[in-house]
Structure 1
Amino acid sequence: MDASTRSLLLLTILFNIHFSLAQDENQFIYNGFHGANLHLDGIAKIHPNGLLQLTNISKQQIGHAFYKIPISFNKSSSSSIPFPSFSTNFVFAMVPELPDISGHGIAFTISPSMSFEHAVATQYLGLFNITNNGRPTNHMLAIELDTVVNPEFEDIDDNHVGMDVNSLQSVQSASATYFSAEEGKNISLKLISGDPMQLWIDYDAAQKILNVTIAPVRRTKPNRPLLSTPIDLSQILLENMYIGFSASTGAIASEHYVLGWSFNKTGPAQSLEISKLPRLPPHKKSRQKPSNIIIISPIAATVVLVMVIGAVYTIRRKKYEELREDWETEYGPQRFSYKNLYIATKGFKETELLGAGGFGKVYRGTLPTSDVQVAVKRVSHDSKQGMKEFVAEIASMRRLRHRNLVQLLGYCRRKGELLLVYDYMPSGSLDKFLFSNEKPALSWFHRFQVLKGVASALLYLHEEWEQVVLHRDVKASNVLLDADFNGRLGDFGLARLYDHGTHLQTTHVVGTVGYLAPELTKTGKASTRTDVFAFGALMLEVACGKRPIVLQGLLEEVILVDLVMDCWKRGAILDASDPKLDGNYSAEEMELVLKLGLFCSQSMPAMRPSMRQVMQYLDGSASLPEIQTDKIVCTSTFTASNEASDLVIPFSSSSGKCSAHSFSSNESILHKGR
C-alpha cells in the first residue's frame, strides 16, 4: 500500500470516528441498556437482561443514571448556531413495595453536572437539598414522575407529572393521564401500578414550547400532550449539559426502572422497539407453606389423625383468632392478619420490644409476605364502644401522606386488644436523644430540622389535608427519627378528625401533663390551638434539653416555661439552652425557638400563632413580632407529682368540672371516650 493510499485510509478512519462521535453526541437509542454509555451512582444498576434499575426497596436511597457524554445545548453568544429543538422518550415502571403506597419518584433531568453529592433522597428526588432547592444558579430542568404529596412544593396530588426548573416546586404539573383519540377523553394512569409506561419530552426551540406526553407502553404517542408549557430553555441551560435519570425512596420505597431510552438533539427521537425491551422482574408473591396434613391410608389411623388435626386446628385458630365484624370488610387492605403480625414480631418476643408505657407495648417486626419492617403497637380496647367510628378514622388516617408523618399502614383487632401497624423508624424516638444516655446528644442542626419537620406535619394535618386532624399528643416521645434523623410525628392513637369549618365535639381530655393547654380542663374541647400549645412545649424541651416539668430534689418542681421566661426577663434567654450542646448552635435560631416556644405556650388560645405562622417563623419567611415579656401570660395547667403523667379527664358540660385520673407513664393511652 503506497503512502497516498495509507493517508486516504487514515483520513477515512478519522472521519468515520469523528462522524460516529458526532452522531453519538446528537442522538442515541437504547432498547435495553447492555453496553450503554451511562454513568451510574447511588444504588442504580443494570441487570443482566439490560434492565436499568434506579432504586430498590431500600429506604432513604438515591439512584442516578446519566449519559456520559455532555450535550451541547446552549452555544456561546458569539456563535451563530441557535438553541436546538430536542426530543426524548423513555419507558419506565414503578413497582411499590406495598400496594397503593409508594416513595418517591423518578425525574428525567438535564443538569450541568453528573455529581449530586449534596442531594438528598425522599421528596428531593436525589436532585437537591433543603438549602439549594430553588436557586437560579442550579441551571437544571427536570420532568418529575412524583407519587407522594409534598405540601412544601405545592404538589397537586400523589400521582402527577411535573415540570421543574431549578426547584422541586413545579412550574406546571398535571395528574397522570393520557388522551385517547378513540374515546375522545383523558384516561387516568396510576404511576405505581407496576406496569411499564412511556413518556415523551419534546422541545420546540422556535416556538419556545416544552411538551410532555405519557401513555401506556403499547399505545402510540397521543396527539395531545399532558403538559405544554411556554419556556425559553436558552435562559436556563448552560452550554454543556448532562441528561439522565434520578430517583429516590423514602420511609416507603418503590423499585424504579427504566426499560429503554431514546434521545435526539436535532429532531424527533427514534421510536423504541417495545418487543426488544427487557422484562421486569416478576412480582413477589406471598410465601406459601406446605400443608401439615399427611394422609394415612388405614381407616383407624385416619380417624385418629382427623381428631388430632381438628384439635390442632382449634388451638391454632384460637391462637390467631381475630375479632372481625361485617362492617370491616370495606377496609380490606388496611386490615392486617393477626397471624402475620405474630410471625413478624416473632410472637411478640421481648427481644423485639421497642418501647412500653401506659398505652401498651410497641414491637419491631418484619412482615412475612413482603419483608417490610414495621412497628406494631398493641393497645387494649373496648370493642363495644365506638370501634366502628375509630376504625373508620384509622382508614382515613392511613391516607395521610407527608414526609414528616410516620405512616400508619393499618390495624388488626383481636379479642380485647387493637394492633396498629406503622412504618419502622430505625433511629428511635426524639426523647431518647434528649433525655437518655442510651443515645448520643443530638446536634442543634438536627434538632432545628426536626422542629421544622414536625411543624410542617402539623400544618398539613391542620390545614392542608381534606379534613382537620388534631393529633392531641404532640411530645418528644411521639417524634420518631428515620435513618437520616429527619423528624416524623407518630402515634395517632389519640388523634381526631373533623371537617373543615366545623368544630370538634369531645367529652374527654386526653394527653400528657406539661403539654396540655389550659383551656382543655375548662371546656373539654380540643382545637388546632391545643396542638400549637403542645408544640410550644416540644420546642422548649428540644432547645433546653429538659422536660416541660422538671423535678428538682424530692418535692420541688420547675416548670420549663417559667425557667425560660425568667431567663428572657433577665435579658439572657440563651442561658436556657441545653448545656449538652456546649454552645454549638446558631444563637439566632436558638433565640427564635425559645421565644416562639413561649409564644405558643400562652394561656389564651387566640394569642397563640397558627401552625402556618409557626412554619413561616421557622422558615424565615416571616419575622417573629416584637414581644414584650410582660404581655405574655404562660400558665401551667398542672404540676406533676413525680414524673410526667398521662391524663384522661372526663368532662361534664353541665357541671363545668373535671376529674383527673393520672397514669404513671410518659406514653399516651387509648381511651373509650375518644
Structure 2
Amino acid sequence: MTIPNTNSMLSFSCMVSAAVVILGRTCSCLHFTFPSFNPGNRDDFSFSPGSAISNNSLQITPNAGNMSHRSGRVVYARETLKLWNSKRTALTSFRTEFVLNILPQNGTAGEGMAFMLTNNPSLPSDSSGQWLGICNSQRDGAKTNRVVAVEFDTRQSYADEFDGNHFGFDFNSIKSFRQYPLSNQSIILASGSDVWVSMAYNGTTRLFGVDLVQHSTIGGQLKSSGSLIVNLSHYLADDIYLVFAGSTGDFTQLNQIKSWNFTTIENDATVGIRVGIKVFLAIAALVIFSTCLVGVFFMWRRLTRQRRLANRNLEKMIDAHGPVKFKLRELRRATANFSPTRKLGRGGSGTVYLGHINRMNLEVAVKRVSMGNADSNRGEQEFVAEVNTISKLSHRNLVKLIGWCHEGSELLLV
C-alpha cells in the first residue's frame, strides 16, 4: 500500500472547509452603497413620472418644467428588505445614511420629502402638497397603507405641526406620531445646503433613531437627533421596499438625494450564536479531519509493517562490511530512470543498464533483478546470497560488486 495521496487529502480538507462556510451562512443580508448617482444606476431604481437621476442626484420630484403641485417616489428596485431575521426570532436590524439637499425655487420652499419603509411602492394619486408622496386625503391613516416614514417637512401643513422646518416619524399617516423641530438647532432643511442623515433600527430593542448633521456657514456642525420605540411588525409585512418620496405645492423646491447607503445588521445575540456555531463546526471539522488522517496513517503503517520488517531482515543478512547500499532514487538518476537507451543486456535473472554515479564520478553497470512470479522470500534469499558471494570475489575477469539496493519490490546490483 502506498502513502495516501496528498491531493486527495487536500480535496477532503477543502470540502470540509466549504461545508463549514456554507453551514455558517444563515443570514441573507441587504447591502448597497451609492456615493453618487449617474445614468448607469437607473436599473437599480424604479421612478414615478417626473422622478429621475440628474445632477448626480436622485430627483424625487421634477427638477424642470411644471414643478408645482407634484409628487414623486424613487424605489430601490434590486431587492426588498425582510421584516424578520432568517429564523424569525427578531425583527431585522438595519442602518442607512444618505445626504439630502432641498433647494427652494423662487426663494420659498414647499412642501417636503421622506424616507419610507413600505409594502406598497407605487405613488398614490393626488399625493402632492402636504401629503409628501406618502398618502392622500382618502387614504390618510389607513392601516392598509403599510408605511413607516421619517418626514423632512419644509412647510407647515396643519395646525398640530410645529412649523415648516422639522422632521418626524409617520405611521400610515401624514400626521406625525412624533415631531422634532430643527430651527432651535439652527438646521434649515430648505437652505440648499447638504444635510447628512443617519438612521438605525434595532430589531431586538425596537429602537428607531435618527441623527441629522448640517455644516454651518460659519464653521462647525449643527446636529439634531430623535428616537422612539416602534414595533415595525405592527405596520409592515415582509418584503419591505425602501423608498424616497417627496412633493411640492404652490411653492416649489428640488428634493434631492445626493448619496445613499444601506445595510442590515446582525444583533449581538444572533451574532454570538452564529459565531458559536461557526467555531463549533470548524473545530468539529478539524477533529474529524485529524482523526481520519491519523487513522489512515496507522492503517498504512500496519499494512506495510511486514514489508518494513522484511527490509530490515534483508539488511541484517547482508554483510555489514560488504558493498554499499544505494538509494533507489540515486540509481534512477544514474540510469536515466532505467532508460531503454542505457540497456546493456538482458538475461534470465534481470536486465543490466549503464549508469553513472555522480558522487563517485564512476561509470557502473546496474542490474535490475527480475523477481518474476517466484516466491518473494526465496527471491530475496537468493539476492542476499548473490550479494554476499559476489562482494567477496576478486578476479581481473570479474566485474567488482560496488553496491546494492532494495526498496519496495526493486532488487538491484551495482
Are 1:122 and 2:126 an aligned pair? no
3-state SS of paired residue (1:192): helix
Q: Distance in 1 between matches of 2:75 and 2:46?
A: 5
Give 1:190 deviation, angstroms. Answer: 0.9
Equivalent residues in 2 for 1:521-600 (5 A)?
none
Q: Which amino acid aligns with 2:99?
A: V
Q: Which amino acid aligns with 1:30?
A: F
What's 2:198 paired with? 200
Q: Which amino acid aligns with 1:72?
A: L
Q: Is the 8 A contact 1:69 1:242 kept in 2?
A: no
Q: Distance in 2 between matches of 1:118 and 1:97?
A: 24
What's 2:249 paired with? 250
What's 1:646 paired with? none
Picking from 75, 94, 99, the partner of 2:102 is 94
Q: Which amino acid aligns with 2:191?
A: S
Equivalent residues in 2 for 1:126-137 (5 A)?
126-137=133-144
Q: Is the 8 A contact 1:106 1:245 kept in 2?
A: yes
Q: Distance in 2 between matches of 1:79 and 1:197?
A: 36
What's 2:58 paired with? 52
Are 1:166 and 2:172 an aligned pair? yes
Q: Distance in 1 between matches of 2:221 and 2:147?
A: 26
Equivalent residues in 2 for 1:84-483 (5 A)?
84-99=92-107, 101-151=108-158, 154-176=160-182, 187-216=185-214, 226-266=225-265
* Deviation per residue, 1:264-297 (Å, 9 max, x gap): 12269xxxxxxxxxxxxxxxxxxxxxxxxxxxxx
Q: Is the 8 A contact 1:42 1:61 kept in 2?
A: no
* Deviation per residue, 1:391-427 (Å, 9 max, x gap): xxxxxxxxxxxxxxxxxxxxxxxxxxxxxxxxxxxxx
Q: Which amino acid aligns with 1:82?
A: A
3-state SS of paired residue (2:155): coil
Give 1:82 deviation, angstroms. Answer: 1.7
Q: Distance in 2 between matches of 1:142 and 1:207?
A: 19
3-state SS of paired residue (1:137): helix
Q: Is the 8 A contact 2:84 2:92 kept in 1?
A: no
Relative to 1, partners in 2 of residues 1:221 and 1:143: Cα closer, same or farther, differing over 3 Å? farther
3-state SS of paired residue (2:97): strand
Give 1:87 deviation, angstroms. Answer: 1.0
Are 1:68 and 2:77 an aligned pair? yes
Are 1:80 and 2:91 an aligned pair? no
Give 1:220 deviation, angstroms. Answer: 10
Relative to 1, partners in 2 of residues 1:71 and 1:221: Cα closer, same or farther, differing over 3 Å? farther
* Deviation per residue, 1:189-247 (Å, 9 max, x gap): 1111101111111112222111111011699998x862111211122221111002011
3-state SS of paired residue (2:130): helix
What's 1:31 paired with? 35
3-state SS of paired residue (1:158): coil
Structure 1: which 5+ residue stretches go unaligned? 178-185, 269-674
Q: Distance in 1 between matches of 2:133 and 2:189?
A: 19
What's 1:643 paired with? none
Q: Distance in 2 between matches of 1:221 and 1:164?
A: 27
Q: Which amino acid aligns with 2:97?
A: N
Relative to 1, partners in 2 of residues 1:200 and 1:267: Cα closer, same or farther, differing over 3 Å? farther
Relative to 1, partners in 2 of residues 1:248 and 1:170: Cα closer, same or farther, differing over 3 Å? same
Q: Distance in 2 between matches of 1:225 and 1:249?
A: 25
Q: Is the 8 A contact 1:86 1:202 kept in 2?
A: yes
From the CA coordinates, give the structure whose radius of gyration is larger: 2
Query: If each structure's strand is expressed as a fraction of its own residues, which one has the higher value?
Result: 2
3-state SS of paired residue (1:131): coil
Q: Which amino acid aligns with 1:239?
A: D
Q: Is the 8 A contact 2:120 2:145 kept in 1?
A: no
Q: Distance in 2 between matches of 1:117 and 1:105?
A: 16
* Deviation per residue, 1:7-39 (Å, 9 max, x gap): x9xxx9xx99xx9x955xx11110112333111
Give the TM-score normalised by the residue count of structure 1: 0.33
Give 1:127 deviation, angstroms. Answer: 1.7
- The number of residues matched between the two structures is 239
Q: Which amino acid aligns with 1:236?
A: Y
Give 1:84 deviation, angstroms. Answer: 1.3
Q: Distance in 2 between matches of 1:143 and 1:84?
A: 18
Give 1:102 deviation, angstroms. Answer: 1.0
Q: Is the 8 A contact 1:31 1:260 kept in 2?
A: yes
Q: Distance in 1 between matches of 2:195 and 2:84?
A: 34
Relative to 1, partners in 2 of residues 1:119 and 1:68: Cα closer, same or farther, differing over 3 Å? farther
* Deviation per residue, 1:538-560 (Å, 9 max, x gap): xxxxxxxxxxxxxxxxxxxxxxx
Q: Distance in 1 between matches of 2:204 and 2:87?
A: 17
Q: Which amino acid aligns with 2:234?
A: Q
Q: Distance in 2 between matches of 1:211 and 1:82?
A: 18
Give 1:111 deviation, angstroms. Answer: 1.0
3-state SS of paired residue (2:265): coil
Q: Is the 8 A contact 2:185 2:224 kept in 1?
A: no
Relative to 1, partners in 2 of residues 1:147 and 1:80: Cα closer, same or farther, differing over 3 Å? closer
Give 1:171 deviation, angstroms. Answer: 0.7
Give 1:81 deviation, angstroms. Answer: 3.9
Give 1:98 deviation, angstroms. Answer: 2.3
Relative to 1, partners in 2 of residues 1:259 and 1:267: Cα closer, same or farther, differing over 3 Å? farther
Relative to 1, partners in 2 of residues 1:221 and 1:81: Cα closer, same or farther, differing over 3 Å? farther
Give 1:137 deviation, angstroms. Answer: 2.0
3-state SS of paired residue (1:123): helix
> RCO greater where, 1 or 2, for CA within 8 Å and sep 6 or more?
2
Picking from 42, 46, 49, the partner of 1:42 is 49
* Deviation per residue, 1:43-86 (Å, 9 max, x gap): 11112x5322122261111121110134333249x953421111
Structure 2: which 5+ residue stretches go unaligned? 1-10, 268-414
Q: Which amino acid aligns with 1:136?
A: K
Among the aligned pairs, what percent are the same residue? 25
Q: Distance in 1 between matches of 2:221 and 2:87?
A: 35
Relative to 1, partners in 2 of residues 1:64 and 1:151: Cα closer, same or farther, differing over 3 Å? same
Q: Distance in 1 between matches of 2:87 and 2:28?
A: 18
What's 1:498 paired with? none
Relative to 1, partners in 2 of residues 1:191 and 1:232: Cα closer, same or farther, differing over 3 Å? same
Relative to 1, partners in 2 of residues 1:80 and 1:161: Cα closer, same or farther, differing over 3 Å? closer
Q: Is the 8 A contact 1:110 1:141 kept in 2?
A: yes
Q: Distance in 2 between matches of 1:103 and 1:230?
A: 30
* Deviation per residue, 1:370-390 (Å, 9 max, x gap): xxxxxxxxxxxxxxxxxxxxx
Q: Distance in 2 between matches of 1:209 and 1:198?
A: 20
